[in-house]
A and B are shown apart, each in its own frame.
Chain A
Amino acid sequence: AQSVTQLDSQVPVFEEAPVELRCNYSSSVSVYLFWYVQYPNQGLQLLLKYLSGSTLVKGINGFEAEFNKSQTSFHLRKPSVHISDTAEYFCAVIEAAGNKLTFGGGTRVLVKP
């Protein structure tokens, strides 16, 4: 079984500053990794995914993440945040042959002016 740990439940950050959201996972088999964003009263929107290949993955809205197999991490970064990035962010994994996403507990990002 897999598990996902998001190390920070809340991250306050000033507008135009960089942000990093940490995600570590545990699995005995190969996995695919995802980051989703959830705005208030909405569903989840896919930011980016890692399936294979280059370990640096670029997503929408200027986000990127780096897959580190040895550290079993998939941290999300953005070099300069906007007020509109205020939302909750979820890291998720799925077994390469599976059909069930396992989510971390989420990280709430609050961008301050």
Chain B
Amino acid sequence: KAGVTQTPRYLIKTRGQQVTLSCSPISGHRSVSWYQQTPGQGLQFLFEYFSETQRNKGNFPGRFSGRQFSNSRSEMNVSTLELGDSALYLCASSSQGWGGYTFGSGTRLTVV
């Protein structure tokens, strides 16, 4: 059974640009969540999608957005990148029944 796949693994962008990160959940998982991990703030929740609907959103500015497709794959977009957006972005998927969330390996975004 394939795990959660995040692409790309590494990304370098310039301040002011925008970026799109992709996440393919485990087959059959309909919930996809995104987290930002930084040394200073730790792991912070960005948003969660279930069946193409955003059910929950963390305390991030509107520059951070996401969506989920009918096949449960998800993308997150960050517009007008700032240096502080440099982080490891983690995607997690879950099935009903609370087996827990399975995380991908993450996308390391560096903003220069």
Q: Is the CB of A100 within 8 A of B48?
A: yes
SS of B interface (majority)? strand
Total inter-chain residue pairs, C-beta < 8 Å: 53
When chains A and B are docked, how far (Å) is the Cα of A73 from the Cα of B24?
A: 34
CB distance from A88 to the nearest CB of B (A): 10
Q: Is the CB of B48 within 8 A of A99?
A: yes
Q: Is the CB of A46 within 8 A of B42?
A: no
| Binary flags per residue of A1-45, CB closer than 8 Å to B gives 1, else 0 | 000000000000000000000000000000010101000011111
* Chain A residues in 8 Å Cβ range of B110: none
Interface residues on chain A, number (Cβ under 8 Å): 21
Interface residues on chain B, number (Cβ under 8 Å): 25
Binds A, one of B11-19, B65-73, B74-82, B100-108: B100-108
Q: Is the CB of A99 within 8 A of B90?
A: no
* Chain B residues in 8 Å Cβ range of A101: 33, 35, 43, 45, 92, 101
Using a CB–CB distance below 8 Å, which chain A residues touch chain B? 32, 34, 36, 41-46, 49, 51, 90, 98-106
Using a CB–CB distance below 8 Å, which chain B residues touch chain A? 4, 6, 31, 33, 35, 42-43, 45, 48, 50, 55-56, 58, 90, 92, 98-106, 108
